[in-house]
Amino acid sequence: MVTYLLACSVCWGAAQDPVVHGTKLSIAFLLGLTYLLLGGGVGMVLMVRRKAIRAAGDSTAAAAGTAAGHADLADLAPPPAPPNRETKD
């Protein structure tokens, strides 16, 4: 008794078969999902980076504004006296 084994439509290459169409759609879905996840990760990194730069810019601007606002008073004030370092022998 002879039996024949035939490959499925995906392996055989029947381009019009619904299984081939489903396989192509699943490949496109998985590629899209991969790019969506990678894009989300890159987007999160860029968002955190932008917030960190903005926070650093705000703190330096605040420090520069404070220093500039008190620059006139600092010029008028006498320098601080050196600490008294007398030693007892």
Global pTM exceeds 0.85 = no
Share of the chain above pLDDT 70, in %: 69
- Looking at the domain assignment, is residue 46 inside a domain? yes
Confirm whether 82 is domain-assigned. no
How do residues 24-45 score in pLDDT, each as one tens digit? Answer: 999 999 999 999 999 999 999 9
Distances (CA, A) of 30 to 13, 23, 27, 33, 36: 21, 11, 5, 5, 10
Does residue 51 carry a pLDDT above 70? yes
The domain in which residue 26 lies consists of 17-58
Q: Is residue 71 part of a domain?
A: no
Residue 21 lies in a domain: yes
Does any domain span residue 30?
yes
Note whether residue 33 is domain-resident.
yes
Place of tokens 């590629």: 31
Residue 44 maps to a domain: yes
28 inside domain: yes
Structurally, the chain folds into a number of domains equal to 1
Quote the longest CA-to-CA distance of the chain: 117
* Range name among 30-34, 54-58, 66-70 with the lowest pLDDT average: 66-70
